[in-house]
Amino acid sequence: MLPEKSSPDLQTAVDLSCTPSSLSSSPTKSATDEMQKEQTPQVPPRIRIPQTQDNTKQLTQPDTQPALPARRLSRLPHEFMKTSPDDNSDEYEDLDLINSTVYRVNTPDRDYRIGVGITSIEMNVGNVKDSDRRNFDLTTPYRIFSFIAESEQLREQWVDVMRNAIGEALSNSEVADRIWAEPSNSFCADCGAPKPEWASINLCVVLCKRCAGNERVNSFWAANVPPSEALTPSSCSDERRRFITNKYRQGKYRKYHPLYGNQKELNNALCINVQCSDVLETLSLIFCGADVNCITDMASWPSPLSLASAHSQPLQAELISHNLNTELPQSEVGGAMQAIHYSAPTCVSHNGFLFKTASMARAVNERKAREEFSRRWCTLNDGTFSYYESDKNSNPNGTLKASEIVCLTVDVTEKHGYDNTFELYSESERLYLFGTDDPDSHKEWVKSIAKSFIPASAEPLLRLSFERIGRLKCKDGLNLQMSKVGWFALVGSTLHAYLEDGQGEEIHLRKLNELSIQQDNEVLVLVERGRTLYIEGERKLDFAGWCAAIQTAAGSGGDTLSQQQLTETDIPVIVHICIGYITQCGLTSEGIYRKSGVNSRVAALCERFRRDARSLRLREGEHQVDDVSNVLKRFFRELEEGLFTSEDSSTWLSTAAIQDESMKISQYQLLFNRLPLVNKATLQALINHLYCVQRFSELNQMNLHNLAIVFGPTLFQTDGKDFTAGRAIEDLIQHYTLIFEVEEQQLKKQLEEITVIIQVREKLNTKFPSTEPGGHFICTVYLEEKKNTAEQHVKIPGAMTAAELTCEVLDRRNIPVQDKEYWSCWEVSNKEEMERPLHYQERVLPILHSFGTDSHLLIKKHLEMETMIVYLTSKVDPSKHGMMKFREERSILGLGLTSGSFHDRYFILNSSSLRMYKEVRSNRPERDWPVITLKVYLGIKKKLRPPTCWGLTVVYESKKQERPEKQQWYLCCDTQSEMREWFATFLSIQYDGDVWPQDGLQQTRVSRVLPDTRHGNVSLIPLRGSENEMRNSVAAFSQDPLAQRTADAVLQNVFARRVSMLNALSIRKSTRLKSMMEEKEQRKRKGVVTGNDGGEEEEEEEEEEGGLGDECY
């Protein structure tokens, strides 16, 4: 009887160098025909069979994991097996070979004649080996049979018959053709030698004679081969034997299946997978412990082998049949292990007619006419997309494997001659364009092709209505050293991504903070809040398409609010930028939103916003306030569906007619909550802005009523004849805090910030001497690091220098300045990742005015200053020259996106200019900048990927009033000392060698003028309000212990002034009234008093009172 399990030390192999011939003339065939003819079986030639020895002993295994099957090859059995049959046995038995099966029977002859056998051997698992004279061996995975024929002639006949039977049993033209059709089978799986002759059926690899995979199966067997243990074609036999043992017997280099160790799920996965064509997955399951003899719980197909046969999967059935007797490691699920439910790789099959153009090596930018397409029969089977001349041709015109497809693009309708088209991009940089007029057929093809090359880990992408789907490499901000393979799908303005070992995520392209192309169009940078994603292009053809598609999706996609580029708070970028600009520069502009801008400039600005609002930066002097305000109004007037939506717009207008205020406010709140998310955020931002505008109506003359007249017809898109729209807007502004549920404290803080902005602009627009008390600005300065405990709120007079500010902060913290300590004031920009130490004589207030929201002032030690001073002292020539790497921030495709890379340039810095040359021998400079116009910062943005970490950011600002210009570029040095020397030379030239005060900060600390705390800053004290508010305002500007007493003194002066003014008013008023009464009595006596005269007197009296009132305030 056959043992239930065979030894794991053997492998079934076949020589693929030739095809076995037919066995019609074999002795077996003749004997069989004769037996059938006479109805009595003939006794075949007798063969002596010595006792056999079971070969079930396993080789020594490591304790950590059970052994995997080693290999046995028909041409090299001696490398793996040793047998010692007992040749002295006198037992004789009879053999017969019928249909590639050897039957073994016992004597006497009657047992054979009645058909009683004790053993059958399937020849597809056997090998025959010649021995001396009459002996030969039949080796099987479970036993070795040694035979002795009665003569040498009979032995040769039996050996030939058995070998032909083995060849016939293993010959499968379909299997052989598919093995050789795979290009990766051109090399030995172990040593890489070309043209291997052997194929291991049960291990699914091809081998050379000396090694007796292919790349795809090697991804399982050799997934983790160390370079030190890898074989080469010149490796010796011992190295090969050791490598083969580790690779196949011990499975040392294999790739473990995710279900490894979970026997139940492994068996279930095997039963599922054998029903499709993925042989590699089945191989991985089997050699990670799946039981090929497991029970399927299906009566019709009780085993995986029967399942594979029933689903017409001959390759799967062949693989399973050759591993039926292979003993493999099996384990059960532990108590703490969570079962992983398996989903088999999908087997996709589809066919039909499509229209195809010739494949291309560049993107399709022009429209393809119908005449350029050819009708082709297309099939998708077993991961291969093929197209034929017609459905009657057997040889395809071309094939494209699913593993070679990197991107699938669905074109917009009617882009080409056929209504529905799609594009396939291959790894070989080829583009295939297919089309059809049938939308259902088009949809089915797109779905099937995408399903064939998208892995199971990214399967949710297939459920999306994508425009583009494919594979890209990417890096994120947490790990910039190693690229990950990611699967991406573009749907509208959302980029869906599934990265390696990660969950799916969505990137809202219209909400990006920045979108740019870098490194010569090889990296696409997507910056969102708290994260930067770098998408890399492996192939230029499909990556260029991805870049264009993502840039288009990130722009404004239409005329509705939801189709605009949005901020993180779902406000359109155009609204956010216009409101911000007007808040900074236009709140004091008289008649803001009422005046008209220049139509040509307004139209141009609208177009730029529509093209890419994110890249547009509004600058004072370059853009006029009235132009920007008209852009905002035009945007809302031309908005599709309107801000209040077309279906609810009439309800908003009818609400304005409600008389009861509380009911009206409740109805407004109800309508507001019914708006879409983007509409809600936009409406609240706009009404908040208008509320702030009318709060400063004494400056801009735009009160609540005037704003309602302007924005009513604009927001409701009416002709302006009906005043209901204006009343609705007036209600929203007037009851802003109630309708939108805004906290009073938050609104108060916002108004205070706007007040500070207005004050700063007023002070900067006038020339103020250092002694002017009203030129102060309150600024937050940090000590050594930016954190709440290091904050200092400092009054910045117009003439305060960086050294004075540094001493002010150090004095407040009682920090003594030691010798050789270089405390400085630094301008730090978090966004640009750069910082600059201010020169000690540089005024601070202009720096504050040019600040961005991401910049701040920091007081800290300048650790390199002493080294810089020593370097400058030792220099004979004040100029400097040398090579640096240069990169300029320039615009790409008119979208304002940075691009370019670093290039070597030669620079010369002298007392008047900085010149850049292409190389040292160049005579004419490429660029020339005046030194006085340059600001040099330490540091470069990391997203630019500078070649070294020692870089300078240079900002150039022209002094032309009619057309100011600002440029920014980056310089990289090879060493830190070189960067320090360049920066010191810049500083020395710009300030004529005076980089640090000769007496240090101590002299500045002593000589600086301290504020007069006895009077405080009277110009900042509000004269309106309660006594506590005035007391708090004064105390807030003073940080010393005398602040409270100073505030009290100031308050006493203020109230004394008020009392004196009121007394004077009272005296003047009583005197005036007394004289008027006397004059009136005199006129009455004379009878000359008239009604008009009395009216005029009363009017004059009111004017007088009003004037006195203003004087009082």
pLDDT, tens only, 763-777? 766 433 333 333 456
CA distance 216 to 223: 10
| pLDDT given for residue 1040 in this prediction | 39
Query: What is the DSSP code string of 803-863?
Result: HHHHHHHHHHTT----TT--EEEEEEETTTTEEEEPPTT-BSHHHHHT--TTEEEEEEE-T
Residue 421 reports pLDDT greater than 70: yes
| CATH assignment, 767-866+999-1007 | 3.10.20.90
Residue 540 reports pLDDT greater than 80: yes
Q: How far is CA 248 from CA 8, 240, 320, 326, 894, in A?
A: 10, 12, 17, 13, 59
| pLDDT given for residue 1104 in this prediction | 35
| pLDDT given for residue 675 in this prediction | 93
Q: Which of 1106 and 597 is assigned the larger pLDDT?
A: 597
Residue 799 reports pLDDT greater than 80: no
Average pLDDT over residues 623-637: 92
Q: What are phi and psi of 888, to 5 degrees?
A: -110, 140
* Six token digits for residue 204: 């699914």
What is the band of 176 on the pLDDT scale with cuts at 50, 70, 90?
Answer: low
Quick check: 540 and 425 in contact, CB under 8 A? Answer: no
| pLDDT given for residue 127 in this prediction | 79
Average pLDDT over residues 562-585: 89
Place of tokens 């003028």: 1009
Residue 519 reports pLDDT greater than 50: yes
Cβ within 8 Å of residue 264, ≥6 positions away: 332, 333, 339
- Range of lowest pLDDT (36-45, 516-525, 651-660): 36-45
Superfamily of domain 176-249: Arf GTPase activating protein (1.10.220.150)
| pLDDT given for residue 1059 in this prediction | 52
| pLDDT given for residue 938 in this prediction | 93
| pLDDT given for residue 560 in this prediction | 85
Highest mean pLDDT among 239-243, 526-530, 934-938, 955-959: 934-938
Helix (H, G, I), strand (E, B) or coil at 78: helix
Residue 289 reports pLDDT greater than 90: no
pLDDT digits (tens, 9 = 90+) for 355-381: 999 999 888 889 999 999 999 999 998
CA distance 834 to 455: 43
Instruction: Name the strand (E) or helix (H) holding 662.
Output: helix 661-674
| pLDDT above 70: percentage of residues in the chain | 70
| pLDDT given for residue 576 in this prediction | 92
Compute the Cα dihedral for 890, 894, 895, 901 and give only its sign.
Answer: negative
Helix (H, G, I), strand (E, B) or coil at 679: helix
Q: What is the CA radius of gyration of the chain?
A: 45
CA neighbor of 955 nearest in space, from 764, 827, 805: 827
Average pLDDT over residues 1001-1009: 56
Q: Which of 52 and 656 is assigned the larger pLDDT?
A: 656
| pLDDT given for residue 845 in this prediction | 81
Q: Where in the chain is the domain with CATH 3.10.20.90?
A: 767-866+999-1007
What is the band of 878 on the pLDDT scale with cuts at 50, 70, 90?
Answer: confident
What do you get for the CA distance between the two ends of the chain, in Å? 118
Residue 601 reports pLDDT greater than 70: yes
Average pLDDT, the chain: 75
**Other CB atoms within 10 A of residue 51 CB:** 11
**ω into residue 108 within 30 of 0, thus cis?**
yes
| pLDDT given for residue 457 in this prediction | 80
- Range of lowest pLDDT (296-305, 322-331, 682-691): 322-331
| pLDDT given for residue 927 in this prediction | 87
Q: Which of 243 and 689 is assigned the larger pLDDT?
A: 689
What is the band of 89 on the pLDDT scale with cuts at 50, 70, 90?
Answer: very low
CA neighbor of 240 nearest in space, from 15, 126, 70: 70
| pLDDT given for residue 1013 in this prediction | 33
| pLDDT given for residue 276 in this prediction | 80
What is the band of 788 on the pLDDT scale with cuts at 50, 70, 90?
Answer: confident
Instruction: Name the strand (E) or helix (H) holding 316.
Output: helix 314-321
Residue 494's identity, in one-letter code, is T
Q: Which of 486 and 94 is assigned the larger pLDDT?
A: 486
| pLDDT given for residue 144 in this prediction | 81
Q: Which of 803 and 143 is assigned the larger pLDDT?
A: 803
What is the band of 151 on the pLDDT scale with cuts at 50, 70, 90?
Answer: confident
Cβ within 8 Å of residue 606, ≥6 positions away: 631, 634, 635
Residue 650 reports pLDDT greater than 70: yes
Domain topology for 879-990: PH-domain like (2.30.29)
Residue 745 reports pLDDT greater than 70: yes
**16-171 maps to CATH 2.30.29.30:** yes
CA distance 486 to 887: 30
What is the band of 1072 on the pLDDT scale with cuts at 50, 70, 90?
Answer: low
| pLDDT given for residue 180 in this prediction | 65
Domain topology for 561-756: Phosphatidylinositol 3-kinase; Chain A (1.10.555)
Cβ within 8 Å of residue 415, ≥6 positions away: 367, 421
pLDDT digits (tens, 9 = 90+) for 93-149: 445 555 545 545 444 555 556 656 667 777 766 778 777 778 888 887 677 888 888
| pLDDT given for residue 228 in this prediction | 78
CA neighbor of 625 nearest in space, from 605, 641, 640, 607: 605
Helix (H, G, I), strand (E, B) or coil at 993: coil
Q: What are phi and psi of 792, to 5 degrees?
A: -135, 125
| pLDDT given for residue 780 in this prediction | 84
pLDDT digits (tens, 9 = 90+) for 16-40: 443 333 333 333 333 334 333 333 3
| pLDDT above 90: percentage of residues in the chain | 22
| pLDDT given for residue 480 in this prediction | 63
Residue 473 reports pLDDT greater than 80: yes
Residue 1043 reports pLDDT greater than 60: no
Residue 337 reports pLDDT greater than 90: no
What is the band of 849 on the pLDDT scale with cuts at 50, 70, 90?
Answer: confident
Specify the CATH class of 468-554 in words.
Answer: mainly beta
Residue 344 reports pLDDT greater than 70: no
Architecture of the domain made up of 350-453: Roll (2.30)
CA distance 158 to 166: 12
Q: β-pairing, 92-98 with 198-200? A: unpaired
What is the band of 389 on the pLDDT scale with cuts at 50, 70, 90?
Answer: very high
Q: What are phi and psi of 859, to 5 degrees?
A: -100, 120
Helix (H, G, I), strand (E, B) or coil at 804: helix
pLDDT digits (tens, 9 = 90+) for 1009-1022: 444 333 333 333 33
| pLDDT given for residue 422 in this prediction | 95
Average pLDDT over residues 575-601: 90
Instruction: Name the strand (E) or helix (H) holding 956.
Output: strand 951-957
Query: Could you give the angle at which helices 173-181 and 314-321 cross, rounded to 10 degrees?
Result: 100
Q: Where in the chain is the domain with CATH 2.30.29.30?
A: 16-171, 350-453, 468-554, 879-990
